[in-house]
Amino acid sequence: MFSSDKFLIVKYMKQFILSLDEIVINYPNKEMVVKNRLHSDSLDILEFIYQANIEDNPENRKYYQNKILSKISMLDFYLEKSYKKKYISEKMCQKKSNELIKISKMVYQWKSAKQQDIS
């Protein structure tokens, strides 16, 4: 295991990614784009977390943190669209959205903690 696996944001993001399979199983073939974007954007977020975590330059770290938050917003949109199209239940949509909110809050705390270190 990598030492960064102890990083809570990584833990929660990995759990989110691994749980996506149970969600996207009901997607029709015509929605492959949304299904693929859910997976790819989730993996991008994990990558950005790793990149921001090792970044020494505060501006570059902030860039990655903002990318994480942007991608989380997109995931939330994909979930909302999936719910409206009835590919996932309201309960599942709410559960996954809450997981994303938790990760977002962690990123915002991370951003503010790193900025306080700089000041």
Range of the domain at 51: 3-118
Query: For residue range 94-113, what is the model confidence (pLDDT) as tens digits?
Result: 999 999 999 999 999 999 88
Cα-based distances in Å from 4 to 68, 80, 102:
17, 31, 19
Q: What pLDDT band is residue 7 in, cutting at 50, 70 and 90? A: confident
17-23: Cβ within 8 A, 24+ apart: 17/42, 17/43, 17/46, 19/96, 23/82, 23/88, 23/92, 23/96
Cβ(5)–Cβ(11) under 8 Å?
yes
Query: For residue range 73-99, what is the model confidence (pLDDT) as tens digits?
Result: 999 999 999 999 999 999 999 999 999
Query: For residue range 17-57, what is the model confidence (pLDDT) as tens digits?
Result: 999 988 888 899 999 999 999 999 999 999 999 999 999 89
Q: What is the CATH number of the domain that holds 49?
A: 1.20.1440.60
Tokens 């000041």 — which residue? 119
Q: Is the pLDDT of residue 1 over 60?
A: no
Q: For the chain, what is the domain count?
A: 1
